[in-house]
Structure formats: C-alpha cells, structure tokens
Structure 1
C-alpha cells in the first residue's frame, strides 16, 4: 500500500477543512483517515498513481489549507517519504525511483507535530542528523531539486 500524508498549515484545522467541504469529503470517503502527527492526515492508497491522483483531486484544498503533501511507496522506500512533486515525477517516469534519494528535507517531530525542515544532501548513503532543535524523532522526505531549501 502507498501512503499519502497531508500536513495542514499552522493556523488551519486540516481535518475540519477537508471534511467540511463536499468535494474533499467525497474524495476521502473511501479511505480510513489517521493522524500520525498533529494537524496531519494519512490515507492508504493502492498505488503511487492512486496517491498522486488523490492529491490532484484535492489540489484546490491543498493550496489553501496544506503546508505539505508526502507520499510513501514501499517499492521506493519503506522508511522515507517523497514530496508530492517527486512522486508525480516518478509516476510519470520523468525520474527513476533509484534517483530520488539525494536531496532531502528532514522534519523534526516535537510534541507530536512536525517542525521546520532541515534541507540536506545524503552523503555516502547516510542521512545527516537533524540539528535545528531538540526533537523526539525525524521524518525524512525526498524532494525535487527545485524544492531543495524551499
């Protein structure tokens, strides 16, 4: 299964905004929503294509209410997420999955929520340690070149 994660903007109740609108509610109706971090939702889809299609269906709402959208496909990585842009490029065969692991945004997890990302480049196969603040954990997101340091 491929997982989609949508992270809400700081001043927005993402779940409320998505479920209070008929079109977004309809797009999400067949999925079980979970909240891995504060003000975020995840859903399981059948494929990378299904994940990208769902994000495209929700685009109007994502622009207004979301800070970020990630996709985790086990055929690419079981631990790391792809940015929405990178997921689209892999789906469209513009980039091979094996070429997605150099540019990273590492989000800290503090008090159950994602905090500011640190943009890094993978070196010798390892991910640098998050050092922007003390955090309980991290979430690694592979990003496209133009998203690097965004």
Structure 2
C-alpha cells in the first residue's frame, strides 16, 4: 500500500480545511485517515498512481493549505518518503526507483506536548514506520480539540512536528547527519533535482 501524508501550513488547521469542504471531504471519504504528525492528514492508497491521482484531485486545497505533500511507496523504500513531484515522475515512468535516492531533504522530528519516559511506554513506534496513529473519523472534532480524549488511562499521547529541513545529497549510499538542531528522530524525503536546488 502506498501512503500519502499532507502537512498543513502554519497558519491553518489542515483537518478543518479539508474536512469542512464538500469537494475535499468527498475525495477523502473512502480513506481511513490518520494524524501521524502535528497538523497533518495521512492515508493509504492502492498504488503510487492512485496516490498521485488523489493529490491531483486535491490540488486546489494543496496550494492553499498544505506545506508539504509526501508519498511513501514500498517498492522504492520502506522508511523514506517521496516528494509529490518525485512520485509523479515515478508514476509517469520518467525515473526508475533506483534513480530516486540522490537528492533528499531531512526533517528533524520533535515531540509536541508531554513525553513518555521510555520506548516501552510509547510502544516503541515511530511516527513514520507504517504504524497506525491517531485516526480522524467522520464524527471527530476536525480541529483536533479532542485529540487526547481517546487515550487510555496511564498512557501519554505522542504527537510529532516536522522542523527545519536540511537539504542533502546522498554520497556512496550515505546521507549526512542532521545537524540543524538536537532532535530524537529524523524523516527523509527524496526530491527531484530541481526541488533540491531551485
């Protein structure tokens, strides 16, 4: 399954903007929505073609409310994401999967809110490893106000925020270390060459 993740701009509530408008709500209605990061919506599609088609259907909303649109295709990588442009190039056959790993951006990941004391308390899950995160349903408060209400007693909700992208080039199969700030985790996004050096 191919994953799609949309990260909202700082000045909007992405869940509200997408789920309160009929056209975008209808486009997302058949998907099981998640919130793996702060101000985000994520879902799974059947293929990279379906992912790119969905992003094209939502383009009007993406240009207004989305800072970053990501696609994760298992046939390319299990732990690295693709930019929308790179996913489109793959879908169109412009690039082969083995040609996608040269140009990347690495985001730092910071916890938002309270932090659990150990990996065992948070289940050892990372926000980008394919694990199910907080779900967004039709009856949910789309502004996220009830995000903590479903947590079991004694558990600590984990929310992550993408911070300060570092543009890098893979050399001999290795990416440079993320050094813009001290973070627990990072998220790698593969880019087209033009996105890497606009």
Question: What interval of TM-score do these two structures reach, taking the shorter chain for normalisation?
Answer: over 0.9
Larger RCO: 1 or 2 (CA < 8 Å, sep 6+): 2
1:127 paired with 2:164, answer no
TM-score, length-scaled by structure 2: 0.74
Distance 2:174 2:42 in 1: 27
Matched position secondary structure for 1:133: coil
**Structure 2 counterpart of 1:83:** 83
Aligned-pair RMSD on alpha carbons?
A: 0.8
1:115 paired with 2:163, answer yes
Matched position secondary structure for 1:34: strand
Moved over 3 A (4+): none
**Structure 2 counterpart of 1:34:** 34
After superposition, the Cα gap between the structure-2 partners of 1:149 and 1:107, relative to the gap in structure 1 and judged at 3 Å, is farther
| Runs of at least 5 residues in structure 1 that lack an aligned partner in the other structure | none
Answer 1 or 2: which has greater helix percent: 1
Matched position secondary structure for 2:33: coil
Distance 1:52 1:24 in 2: 15
Matched position secondary structure for 2:34: coil
Q: How many angstroms does 1:120 deviate by? A: 0.2
Instruction: Tell me which structure has the larger Cα radius of gyration.
Output: 2
Cα deviation code 1:49-93 (max 9, x no counterpart): 000001001000000000010100001100100000000000000
How many residues in Structure 1 have an aligned counterpart in Structure 2?
150
